[in-house]
A and B are shown apart, each in its own frame.
Chain A
């Protein structure tokens, strides 16, 4: 049977093939301790406009396959294979899955032979090479539908194009200072199907709608360029109506874009933020804290980083030197500091199962200032070996043909009980940082510098001056220990471009938190 296009509905047929081939594969092969396969089907559409001119639009689909095998004669090792497919491959899908598993198997066996050889030839340095295995997880079969009001594929491409063009044109006309604007909208559906030789069969469908607004405002040779992401796991309705949920609140996309443009325009007439030589009181709003929790809580609590697996790329973590010297169970912040990752929260990083079929659950990283736990995968959980590190379902890929990595789900600072207005009004002199911009973090996440969209100077509890091009910088531990107020205004925001891995995977996820107060050095432009 010929297929004209890839559709989300194809998943019904493909998942049976996936399961059947895996079952046959496990029976046929010797020395296989684990095998799994994953497909990702996507259908969607997008449009982009620049300064009121439509630059592109389109509707497309994709189908990707990935397989993993853990096998070996004397010791086990992993092999992986990924491939992009098209409609013409669908009649041969089962054969292709078999081929992919064979490739993964060949790699696993070859890898295992090399590993075993080194266990001997590397002498004492070969002692830590281990027999790859995965921690146990409950084996489920589940189908989870998407949540939406307007199905992304029911919106016409013309509507999407008209929407971005209108917003872009209005922005251009509205303010002479706004020299450049780029407006991008995409709405799409993704169906992720995972099957394992253990019997798991997980079928999750997600709707995504995402907008990116970029603006550049110029005022008397001062330039401000800002961008922000608007997004949720919902349908097109959020573009027209915004989002008004418990944790996620957005105006509609037009208003979102206008708000950002107005900010950039205002900031272009503001003075540059000063530097401080010593730490000062800093209050940070939920949007700023979105990037802060991402960088100094989320990343350093990824267990692959903890186990030094990311030393060459994303770095290590100051929270864990080795099994004898680490901060687990010890104080890393004030008693007001709480943070966790929770895939079940209704944010941009929501899911119920990760990409190895592990049921996703909340993991507390910091409770009352004490370090408690890490995001993990089945393999890292087995290596860590601590029951506090049972698999919690954080192994995720950004697409269907790449190897998953440990990624944040919705990683957040937990809510406190203080009114954010009081957090500001209590301050005699300090600074209020609003909206995140760009991060730069030290290799083990022990120091950070994150720029903000707006920095207000606070005097006697009131904002008195607005600065541009400011931010803050601190040693993470100092910052955590000085947290002395946490607000009751918890918010979740989307992050659309978290990069990790080789090849690099840019992942969508959720971050957030409430208003917080601590101490840090203020940063501005170059001195």
Chain B
């Protein structure tokens, strides 16, 4: 990793030189250094495996230059970058690439300028993570796996189940998979309108573990997110294993009630934090980006200030809150981060944006008011459409020097207006399901249409007469519904927020449970195993 000081020095030197060049109208210099260490876990009790399957890492550093050029053909905007070279020569090379590829984008207004907002988050990284030792990295990974295995070894339930079949516990097909990812990011940025060098350092660890007792089609998940290396524990492994054991069956009056499937139909459904997080990452947050409004892709198009979903729903992006590991002190455009209230009591209140999209909506799009539903300039005066979500994330780790800033959430939070205890939500369900984990959740007919599907894969239960009755059989239910219908059918929201780790996502969603009426479910894989003869 290159230090923040080194990046700062590089940016300062580059900025001072480049901004003096005669054909430069404005210039922004961005430098970053990123390291991602991943410990991948693969354990099976019935198939040969390594336990610690991969101890791996990737790292990069470099400098990126975005510039506005005065040319014989008019004003042009270009971007270029150079890897592994923070010297002035590196910046010059990046500038040449920017110059060569510069284009006359007449929707481009300017490079980022200061806004009426002060930075609030500083010094939130863990210095130990920046100096992560190989020994600690690998030991932490094995510790998480130990947590799961110990849970399996000590489980009386598994011993009973194995005894029923007169076989050892290992014959139950125990599986533990997942990873621990340690991310360290450093950035420095300066530009013509913001010549004071802005820097940021962030570090975090995420853990996602899946465990199974395959003989019972029982699957459980465990998650962890840590701001400090010293806090990494075996909780995610233990939790995944325990959830898998629980999913083998619910013991009622000393008898094991095996997992059940459910017939196709519409049901009241409680979506747990992980499914709500998936809905957020794949459907809701993309629909709340300024680019989606400009591009007519959002189902919330034209609805600013209007009731768009259930009044029980509040969604915000909490970028400057270090309580959650997605926090960032500044954006990758050098602007302060803040809490952005996207949906307040069901009303569309604000959207996520970067500098380019905010300026485009404010100054370049004659249809902007129609697309937003309100005058963008008026919204801006109210402190909305602020460009405080411009990031150069690298799909789950790292702030890239080799791209301009897109729009991304950080800590994306879903919480209730009148949250209740989860028991109250369960008690309100005469016959339905609690969904703990979904999979492959995508908009099937475009984001605006809102139609989505997903399958239910783990941590789920059948509810009857207001009580958990039995685990839901894994991979036996597909959800086919519409996100706007679902969000408008939210009856209640729980008071238990939990962070989930979503594969390939840059944001860290934090969500609670929601009770939704009349969710359309399809039973899948209903038949017995296929015939085995030829």
Contacts and interface: CB of A to CB of B under 8 A. Distances in A.
Interface residues of B, number: 116
Interface in B332-356: none
Contacts of A401: 58, 60
A444 interface: yes
B455 A129 contact: no
Contacts, number: 317
Contacts of A83: 58-60
B503 A58 contact: no
Given A440-B454, A503-B397, A60 B81 contact: yes
B428 interface: no
Contacts of B531: 331
Given A477-B530, A526-B450, A59 B177 contact: no
B156 interface: no
Please classify how large the interface on chain A is, using the bins under 10, 10 to 19, 20 to 34, 35 or more: 35 or more
Given A53-B106, A446-B524, A527-B520, A311 B444 contact: no
Contacts of A437: 444-445
Contacts of A180: 295-296
B256 interface: no
Interface in B459-475: 474-475
Contact of B480 (A114, A439, A449, A503): A449
A457 B101 CA distance: 48
A403 B179 CA distance: 14
A216 B296 contact: yes
B445 A525 contact: yes
A82 B46 contact: no
B171 to A, nearest CB: 10
Contacts of A504: 395-396, 503-504
B128 interface: no
Given A130-B49, A327-B530, A78 B296 contact: no
Given A110-B134, A504-B504, A78 B51 contact: no
Contacts of A309: 42, 49, 53, 177
A311 B175 contact: yes
Contact of B103 (A57, A86, A179): A57
Contacts of A473: 478, 480, 522
Contacts of A129: 43, 48-51
A469 B527 contact: no
Interface string A439-479: 11111101101010000000000000000110101010110
A132 B97 contact: no
Interface in A70-90: 77-89
A37 B444 CA distance: 41
Contacts of B36: 503
Nearest to B60: A84
B449 interface: yes
Interface in B348-402: 395-397, 402
B296 A471 contact: no
Contacts of A166: none
Interface in B100-121: 100-107
A128 interface: yes
A8 B173 CA distance: 48
Contacts of B100: 58-59, 157
Contact of A223 (B82, B103, B296, B453): B296
Given A60-B80, A60-B81, A402-B58, A330 B533 contact: yes
Contacts of A127: 45, 170
Interface string A91-115: 0000000000001001110110011
B478 A447 contact: yes
Interface in B166-184: 168-170, 173-175, 177-179, 181
A107 B475 contact: no
Contact of B170 (A56, A128, A311): A128
A438 B52 contact: no
Interface in B470-524: 474-475, 478, 480-482, 485, 503-504, 520, 522, 524
Contacts of A441: 440, 455
A526 B486 CA distance: 11
Contacts of A54: 103-105
B525 A439 contact: no
A503 B482 contact: no
Name the residue among B50, B85, B139 with the largest chain A CB count within 10 angstroms: B50
Interface in B389-447: 395-397, 402, 404, 439-447
A310 B80 contact: no
Contact of A312 (B208, B524, B525): B208
Given A53-B107, A309-B177, A449-B453, A442 B475 contact: yes
Contacts of B43: 128-129
Contacts of A106: 134
A387 to B, nearest CB: 17
A124 B168 contact: yes
Interface in B158-217: 168-170, 173-175, 177-179, 181, 208-210, 212, 214
B224 to A, nearest CB: 13
B69 interface: no
A316 to B, nearest CB: 8
Nearest to B61: A84
B173 A58 contact: no
B153 A469 contact: no
Interface in A307-353: 307-313, 315, 318, 321-323, 327, 329-332
A244 interface: no
B480 A329 contact: no
Contact of A88 (B41, B85, B503): B85
B534 interface: yes
Contact of B97 (A59, A313, A526): A59
Contacts of B296: 179-180, 216, 218, 223
B85 A87 contact: yes
Contacts of B449: 223, 469, 525
A103 B139 CA distance: 16
Given A58-B98, A78-B54, 4 more contacts: A84-B62, A127-B45, A307-B47, A312-B178
Counting from the closest, the 6 A-B pairs by CB-CB distance are: A86-B84, A526-B482, A58-B101, A312-B177, A86-B83, A80-B56
27 contacts: A58-B80, A80-B54, A82-B59, A110-B134, A118-B149, A125-B45, A128-B170, A130-B48, A130-B50, A312-B210, A330-B532, A401-B58, A440-B453, A441-B455, A442-B457, A442-B478, A442-B524, A442-B525, A469-B445, A469-B449, A477-B527, A502-B396, A503-B396, A503-B397, A504-B395, A525-B449, A527-B480
